[in-house]
A and B are shown apart, each in its own frame.
Chain A
Amino acid sequence: MEEVIDVPGAPPEPAVVSQTLGNEQRASQNPIDNTVATESEPQKQNVQEQEKISAQRITNLHRHLTALVTNIQTAADARESMRRKDLEEAREMRLKLLENDMKSSQEKFAEITKGWSLAKDYVHAEELQIALDDQQRLLTILLQEKKSLINHLQEELKVGDDRFVKDLRKQTEERDLMLERMEDQIRTLTLAYREELLQTQAVNRQETDDLLTRDMSEWDQHIKTLGDTELDRLTERRKTVAEHEAKIHSLIFHTLDKQTAAKIEQNTKLQVMEREHQKILASNIIIRLKQIKERHELDILMNNRVESLPTEKKKSITTTHSTQPSKKSQHLSKEYKQSVQHYERLQKTIKQITLADTRTFEDMWLTVDAEVKQLVEKALDIDSLICKQHYGIAWQRPQLPVRGVHSDKHFHRSGHLQFSGLSQTNPASHRSRGMKTETDTESTDVEVCKDRSVVQSDGQAELEEEENMFSMEMLTKVMEPLWEEIGFLMEEDVKLLHCLDKDAQTAMKLGSLLSSLGIKEEDLPELVHFLLKYRQHQEEQTEDVCSETGESHDQAASQGTSSTSDLIQPHKVLPALKSFLQQYNKSSQQQSSARHTEAWSSSEDKAYWESLGNIISEDKVKLWEETEKRLKQYNSVLTEISELITETDSLKQQNAELRMLLQQSLNPQVA
């Protein structure tokens, strides 16, 4: 076991390592170059190429790096196998050596044993001594051989130990190297992968950028087209909107027009209504005023009675009555005076108002009438022109309606004023004014009016006469039967009447009667007159009816003066009264209606104005229209003719020019 085992020669590992390292470097450089080259090239296909190249590169890297690591392993394997081989060889050699040694030692041992057996034969000490020495020599040789073998083996063992330790150390070194390389491999691989990643990222980014830009441009284009279409649509819409707006405006204006028209119409209606309303108001005021007046009259009557009552009472019961009622009556009389004054004032104001109204009315009437007359004159002139010039007919001037301002009103009012009895303002002036106006109107019909006024004045004069005739006695006489008949209406007052004297009684009776009948005091003479008339009328009915009214008048007057007893039959009083009341009511109504300043003559006025308006009659109007038509036709024909005249003028001129030209052209030829 003392063979020296050859230390295996340095394995060829380093060379391999260096080679692989170089490969690796190349491998790690090449792909980069490639990728750099590819980057400069145009893209699209680059990506795939790049991927392929990078995959190739990575596999190369894998191969080389793993080779780098496994090289060590294989080297170690080789060394190990070599070591084993050496070990085996050494073992074999050792075994051989041992065998040889054993063989030689066995031979020697056999020699020694043979020597020992030979030594038994020896007897001599010397021989024995020699043999022993021999033996001893052989043994020492043997021992020495063994010792040397042992030494050899021990040496070998020591060498083996050393080598083992060395191997161990080497193996640790290799292992460290391997670990290092593995780490290196990992590092380089990670680096490579990182680079790879960056490159792929760059390539991909570029690609995505390209795609993005392309898409963006596309997108922009799309957006632009979209915007254009939108704009078009918008403009269209704006147009339509404008149209619609215009439509709407027109509609609005249309409706507005309608509305305004309706409004105006309504306004006019309203104005008419207002006017009517004012009219009604005015009539109401007048009615009220009349009522006030009536009341006032009643008050006067009552006052008279009241005044008379205390005197009577004083006469009858002078002592018994104290001063209190007189005070009262004084107070009342004061009040009464005041009210009378008030009433008078009112009356005055009413008169003034009416005067003013009439004045304005007259003025207006006159102006309007003048205007209308002018218009009528104009129309008549035109008519005469038309008739004379166009038709050659002799024109007759139609009769113009003539109408005064106060023809009717005057009569009513004067009558009324006369009936009122108290505080008569000069009706004569009224009448004269009325007359004046009548005379002012230069009419052919003046006579009619005059006649009427004469009739009226006649009636009035008659009444005045009668009034004068009827004395108080007469009245009482007439009234007595009335009273007798109608006494039942005032039974309460009768008892009081007994204590009065006869005059007072009759006065009271009369007052109460009148008040109960609703007849005013002023109308009393009229009543009397009526009653007398009634009787005459009855008489005429009963006797002969062929006698004249004037005669009967006279008769009645004579009768009234001669016999008062048969003035009126008591049994005929009641129907007479009835008929009078009827008449009276009618007349009062008439009076009230006459107080309307405008209503009094509306119908007549209307007729008057219409007659003025229709001064040109329907036939005339038709005629006028016809003439207008004709004239228009004439006019058109004339305008045509005038146009044609200009044309003919121009044509004439042309003709002349042409003739000139012809002559000019002819002349040179002749020349």
Chain B
Amino acid sequence: MPQSTLPSASDSKVPEGSKKTRTIISEDPCWTLSLLPRLSDLCLQSIANNFEEHPLFEQLSSSQRDFLQQRLSPSLPLHVTANLIGDGVYWKRRCQQLWGLCDVSHYGHSWKRMFFERSLENMIELFIPDVSDPGNLLDMVHHCRDFVKRLRVSQLLTPVMDPQRVEEEEVASDNEYEGPSMDHFDFSILLQKLSRLEELHVVYRVKECGMNFEWKMFEMTDRDCESLATALESCKTLKVLRLHQSHVDDKKCRLLVKHLLDHPSLRQLDFSHNLISDKGARAVAKLLSRSSLQELDMCDNHIRDHGAKAIAHALSNNSTLLSLNLRLNRVRDEGGQALGEALLRNCTLRHLHLGGNEVGRRTAAALSEALRQNNVLRSINLSCNSLGEDGGRALQEAMCHNTSLTECDLRLTQVDEDIVSSITQLVWANQSSEPRQDQEKSGARREVDEMRDEAQEFTGQSWTYE
């Protein structure tokens, strides 16, 4: 274009040789307008190239921003980009550069959130206490505080021991190096600053430890528990807490619950695959009565009848809890009965899991009594219990009057096949009569998710029992 617009006055002065080199655009068949970058594109390209020195984003129009998102280098430091560049292609590029395969649907379809959450998780998971510099982590937290909503920490490394020291200690004695050296990452420096954190999944374990296996790697120490408890208390936006497979015993449980008692936003609590027994259960029951929990998962713990009674008592007065999971505990008939009686008064609980709790006939009778009256409960799981013929019959009778139950698991409960099939027919009838298919679907999806988690946790679970 500039060639064609040369002024004619200068043409006369141009010597012959240079005239020949000039070509007119219309004579060049290869020339198209798209070959020439537009000036605005060139400017944007230069902005992209010098973004680190002169960040310029807010002033641009949306199309120009899109252009920049495509062109900016993914290696730009976060302090430049974190707060300036909105969610979009740029963060997608960064994510795909780092991890390749990404499923953005798990992150609310926000690439930026995905990027920050995953990078923060990576940093935490690879953080070695006493070795790694917490400064880096704090920097990162500073940048991503506004974008992280969920942290899923799948491992926490233990401090590294010097081989020399290890040898010395081995020589000296076996039990002496218990103490501060085995503490894991301290969450208190982190959670306080993440102002938008809603979900926290923590597992105190080490992935792929191989032959370096030690029991200590898979345990939560007292100081870990303390620091975590204070950190949780400081994080006011937290809604979901999952702390599983981390050797949480009664003492730690009580400590954690003590700090969570007056938490303003906690909705979901998961202490599955731990070592909590009656005292811990009692503490959790107290939490139930004090906070507005909606889901409680205590599966695969050591809760017995006393703990169950406490939980049942709390449940009878609760009006927020929607789901209670007590799978693989030792509730027995006393606890089961108590829970059944609690269901008579409770009118919010929708899902109850009592699988593998050694409950029997009496519990079935109590539950059938509850099912006659309760029209809120949607699913109940009594698998792997010895309900017996009587219990099955009682449940069948109860189901004839119930219209809300859409799931009832009576597998491996020594109930007669006919009764089981009749009950399932009734349940399906309820299902089909219920127009809310989406709920059912979501339930199915949740089930599948659960199963997937379960499948993952089988490995961890296997370690917890001798």
Contact = CB atoms under 8 A, between A and B. Distances in A.
B201 interface: no
B356 A66 contact: no
B160 interface: no
Given A74-B411, A81-B328, A167 B356 contact: no
A81 B356 contact: yes
B455 A74 contact: no
Interface string B376-393: 000000011000000000
B358 A85 contact: yes
Interface stretch (B12-20, B191-199, B444-452): B444-452
Interface in A152-196: 160, 164, 167-168, 171, 174-175, 178-179, 182
A78 B412 contact: yes
Interface residues of B, number: 26
B36 to A, nearest CB: 48
A125 B330 CA distance: 62
Interface string A78-108: 1011011101000000000000000000000
Contacts of A182: 451-452, 455
B462 A77 contact: no
Interface in B298-354: 327-328, 330
Contact of B444 (A66, A83, A160, A174): A66
A78 B444 contact: no
Contact of B384 (A66, A77, A171): A77
A81 B455 contact: no
B466 A73 contact: no
Interface in B431-445: 431, 444
Which of B327, B409, B454 has the most CB atoms of chain A within a 10 A radius of its CB? B454
Contact of B455 (A59, A63, A84, A179): A179
A12 interface: yes
A170 to B, nearest CB: 10
A83 B356 CA distance: 11
B99 interface: no
A576 interface: no
A69 interface: yes
A16 B454 CA distance: 20
Contact of B458 (A66, A78, A175): A175
A87 B466 CA distance: 9
B355 interface: yes
Contacts of A59: 431
A62 interface: yes
B251 to A, nearest CB: 22
Contact of A71 (B411, B431, B448, B452): B411
Interface string B403-437: 00000010110000000000000001001000000
B218 to A, nearest CB: 15
B423 to A, nearest CB: 14
Interface residues of A, number: 32
A74 B355 contact: yes
Contacts of A179: 455
Contact of B328 (A66, A77, A164): A77
Contact of B409 (A74, A81, A83, A167): A74
Contact of B462 (A63, A70, A171): A171
B466 A164 contact: yes
A75 interface: yes
Contacts of B448: 66
A171 B409 CA distance: 22
A78 B447 contact: no
B444 A62 contact: yes
Contacts of A70: 409, 411, 447, 451
B411 A16 contact: yes
B451 A73 contact: yes
Given A66-B444, A78-B384, A160-B466, A73 B358 contact: no
B458 A69 contact: no
Contacts of B458: 76, 171, 174-175
Nearest to A70: B451
Contacts of A77: 327-328, 355-356, 383-384
Nearest to B447: A66
Interface in A83-142: 83-85, 87
B199 to A, nearest CB: 25
Interface in B91-136: none
Interface string A583-600: 000000000000000000
Interface in A523-539: none
Contacts of A11: 412
Tell which of A70, A76, A77, A80 has the most Cβ of chain B within 10 Å: A77
Contacts of A168: 462
Contacts of A81: 328, 356-358, 384
A175 B358 CA distance: 24
Interface string B140-165: 00000000000000000000000000
A649 to B, nearest CB: 107
A182 B327 CA distance: 22
Given A78-B412, A168-B462, A73 B444 contact: no
B273 to A, nearest CB: 12
A78 B455 contact: no
Contacts of A76: 458
A26 B466 CA distance: 42
A627 B20 CA distance: 112
B412 A167 contact: no
Contacts of B357: 81
Interface string A177-217: 01100100000000000000000000000000000000000
A175 B412 contact: no
Contact of B383 (A12, A62, A74, A175): A74
B412 A74 contact: yes
Contacts of A84: 330, 465
Contacts of A87: 465
B328 A80 contact: yes
B455 A178 contact: yes
Contacts of B328: 77, 80-81
A73 B454 contact: yes
A62 B448 CA distance: 11
A171 B428 CA distance: 32
A178 B459 CA distance: 13
Interface string B60-85: 00000000000000000000000000
A158 B387 CA distance: 35
A84 B409 CA distance: 22
A74 B358 contact: no
A80 B464 CA distance: 12
A492 to B, nearest CB: 86
A80 B356 contact: yes
A305 to B, nearest CB: 89
Most chain B CB atoms below 10 A, which of A78, A174, A175: A78
Contacts of A174: 458
Contacts of A83: 465
A293 B412 CA distance: 164
Nearest to A163: B466
A78 B356 contact: yes
B87 to A, nearest CB: 31
A274 to B, nearest CB: 70
A182 B447 CA distance: 12
Nearest to A13: B412
12 contacts: A12-B412, A16-B411, A66-B444, A74-B355, A74-B383, A74-B412, A75-B412, A81-B328, A81-B356, A84-B330, A85-B358, A171-B462
Given A16-B411, A70-B447, A78-B356, 20 more contacts: A62-B444, A66-B444, A73-B451, A74-B355, A74-B409, A75-B412, A77-B355, A77-B356, A81-B328, A81-B356, A83-B465, A84-B330, A84-B465, A160-B466, A167-B462, A168-B462, A174-B458, A178-B455, A179-B455, A182-B451
Interface of B: 327-328, 330, 355-358, 383-384, 409, 411-412, 428, 431, 444, 447-448, 451-452, 454-455, 458-459, 462, 465-466
7 closest cross-chain pairs (CB), A and B: A78-B384, A81-B356, A77-B356, A74-B383, A77-B384, A78-B412, A74-B411
